[in-house]
Copies of this chain bind each other. A is one copy, B any other.
């Protein structure tokens, strides 16, 4: 319903329907009964019922005590297999933890997918307000520090292709909403070596990010530090950026991308 229209030349109705069921359950924060599922998706109850039973057999959904349905833990298994192939999260975690200890703010690890970034890990400092981000969630590139960090260090061509696909949704009065502004911003990011999201996604939230580069110096992910603007002040950015650079450097070494020796190419000015 609220989702991308199932356009495209190949179609398997049953799959589209099954996934719309999963979407529905995924977006609801309370389990749903058969009747609710059926009516929300305009499926006839028998059909919805059959799908739910099959999905349940596969443990893609499970029923709560009172017979309502929610997403099943098989999905969690699949999901973790999916990112396991990247192997990045496990190796990055200790470095992220150190980063959080140093900065006392929340750290995120994110990957680029299509024109969005996907958060694959989050570490929060002990005593901080909980951030609303959900691991696994995705945000557009243009309004996030991680997005800009990756984009800025991608080869011109790939970056341009992604920028072309950005839809420039506006989130706050500071959100970048034109290709031109984004290009300028990326240029700036390249120069200083780190990306900043200055309340462009959420009022009062400032983030700063640097890319994780692989052996070919291609960005494969980005690490960010986020916190309330009054704590993450402009003056502190260079210092945080340094912690970030140290962190991603550690990750790169652990991933075997670079040997531990040489210094980082991206420079932090100011």
Contact = CB atoms under 8 A, between A and B. Distances in A.
A6 interface: yes
How many copies altogether? 2
Contacts of A263: none
Interface stretch (A132-140, A144-152, A195-203): A132-140
- Interface size band for A: 35 or more
A82 B90 contact: no
A29 B85 CA distance: 7
A113 B124 CA distance: 28
Given A77-B137, A78-B26, A79-B79, A85 B71 contact: yes
A73 interface: yes
Contact of A77 (B57, B70, B79): B79
Interface of A: 6, 8-12, 14-16, 18-19, 22, 26, 29, 31, 50-51, 53-55, 57-60, 62, 70-73, 75-85, 90, 93-94, 97, 111, 113, 118, 120, 124, 126, 130, 134-138
Most buried by B among A22, A60, A62, A85: A85
Contacts of A93: 124
